[in-house]
């Protein structure tokens, strides 16, 4: 990440020891480090002036030498259903998207862990644009802090790592961010979704506190899963299911299996039967996601009819699986599942020619 050397150093993303180390020359009393930590992660301040339990002189020194490091809002789009999508610009010019989703009694914030994604899933707009970079813990936490200020999010917020990027390919930063965010948000209200990075799943299983785990499955066999999710060639279904079996779960908790329904590809009743067979004796619940089309993905896939979705769900439920259907939210502003993108740039597998044209590179 390249930033202007004159940019004040950010504090959001540092834990107590990190704040002590970074501020040691300026803040000499340990209780003041605690006050700054609490201001950042318990109160969620977005400006040093809000740290009113510190002296005015110290607040001025902090604001002169440091920043909180929150992203900037490049654009903000509100959907007809109340969903709001934020395009955020980071310190080095990279961009990410974050989505605030109000839904009756629930409030969910969908956040990003990478500026782009290199997994190239065929149904995902983020993957179409290709890999970017990992976010820092501060850039992850900063999304929540910023949207809290703009949208007045409740403390009963549900937080999902289902935005841009594969969280388990940025696990150290994700883990730090989770620990900082857990000061205000219960671990039970935070969910990390992965395309199936098995070493990361095993690593989360060793943590003392763990978020909810969600797995993007999307096909009941290796051939079709590899076709739409290249990661399956590295971590095939049998190995992934073994990882889910050994994943430690607290009482009454289950792993969420996410399954995008693609018309004529993976949505037959026989596919539901095969999926149920795969998941036998694994403590899971299935979240069915009707495909959300996007112009950049072309016409390869279509959304199945509601009757097909219902039949698929009923087939799973008849085999003793809990199966829900995810309501499409924010589709009119490109904020639905699989639609997140960043600032315009050449899509994956293209390079820009001099003069602005492009050519395929693979």
* Residue positions annotated with a catalytic role: 97, 337
Helix (H) / strand (E) containing 313: helix 306-317
To the nearest 10°, the Cα dihedral for 133, 137, 141, 146? -50
Tokens of 331: 């589709």
**What's the CA gap between 267 and 313, in Å, rounded?**
10
Alpha helices in 1-70 (DSSP H): 16-23, 30-41, 56-65
Burial of 211 (0-12, 13-18, 19+ CB in 10 A): buried
**What's the CA gap between 293 and 264, in Å, rounded?**
15
Please identify which residue in the block is written with the tokens 């004159």: 6
What does the DSSP 8-state code read for residue 134? Answer: B
Please identify which residue in the block is written with the tokens 């936490």: 141
- In sequence order, the 6+-apart residues with CB closer than 8 A to the CB of 163 are 96, 97, 98, 99, 110, 111, 112, 113, 340
Helix (H) / strand (E) containing 125: helix 125-129
Task: Quote the radius of gyration of the chain (alpha carbons, Å).
Answer: 21
Query: 193: helix, coil or strand?
Result: strand
Burial of 246 (0-12, 13-18, 19+ CB in 10 A): exposed
C-alpha angle 135-328-302 in degrees, rounded to nearest 5: 95
Query: 307: helix, coil or strand?
Result: helix
**What's the CA gap between 55 and 132, in Å, rounded?**
41
């Amino acid at each position: 990440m390249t930033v202007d050397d004159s940019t004040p150093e950010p504090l959001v993303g540092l834990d107590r020891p990190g704040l002590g180390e970074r501020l040691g020359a300026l803040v000499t009393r340990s209780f003041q480090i605690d006050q700054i930590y609490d201001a950042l992660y318990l109160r969620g301040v977005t400006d040093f002036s809000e740290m009113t339990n510190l002296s005015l002189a110290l607040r001025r020194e902090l604001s002169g030498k440091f920043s909180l490091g929150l992203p900037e809002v490049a654009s903000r789009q509100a959907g007809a259903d109340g969903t709001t999508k934020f395009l955020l610009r980071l310190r080095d010019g990279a961009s990410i998207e974050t989505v605030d989703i109000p839904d009756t009694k629930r409030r969910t914030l969908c956040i990003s862990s990478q500026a782009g994604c290199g997994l190239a899933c065929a149904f995902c707009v983020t993957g179409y644009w290709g890999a970017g970079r990992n976010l820092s813990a501060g850039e992850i936490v900063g999304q929540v802090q910023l949207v809290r200020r703009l949208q007045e999010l409740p403390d009963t917020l549900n937080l999902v790592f289902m935005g841009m990027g594969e969280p388990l390919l940025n696990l150290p930063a994700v883990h730090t961010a989770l620990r900082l965010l857990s000061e205000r948000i219960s671990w039970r209200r935070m969910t990390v979704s992965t395309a199936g990075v098995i070493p990361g799943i095993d690593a989360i299983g060793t943590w003392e506190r763990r978020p909810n785990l969600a797995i993007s499955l999307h096909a009941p066999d290796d051939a079709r899963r590899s076709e739409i999710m290249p990661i399956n060639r590295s971590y095939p279904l049998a190995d992934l299911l073994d990882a889910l079996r050994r994943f430690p779960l607290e009482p009454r908790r289950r792993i969420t299996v996410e399954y995008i329904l693609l018309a004529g590809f993976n949505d037959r009743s026989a596919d539901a039967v095969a999926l149920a067979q795969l998941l036998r004796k694994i403590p899971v619940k299935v979240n069915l996601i009707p495909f959300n089309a996007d112009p950049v993905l072309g016409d390869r896939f279509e959304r199945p009819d509601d009757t097909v979705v219902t039949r698929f769900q009923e087939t799973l439920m008849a085999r003793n699986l809990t199966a829900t259907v995810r309501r499409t939210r924010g589709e009119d502003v490109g904020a639905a599942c699989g639609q997140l993108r960043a600032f315009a740039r050449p899509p994956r597998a293209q390079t820009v020619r001099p003069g602005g044209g492009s050519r395929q590179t693979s």
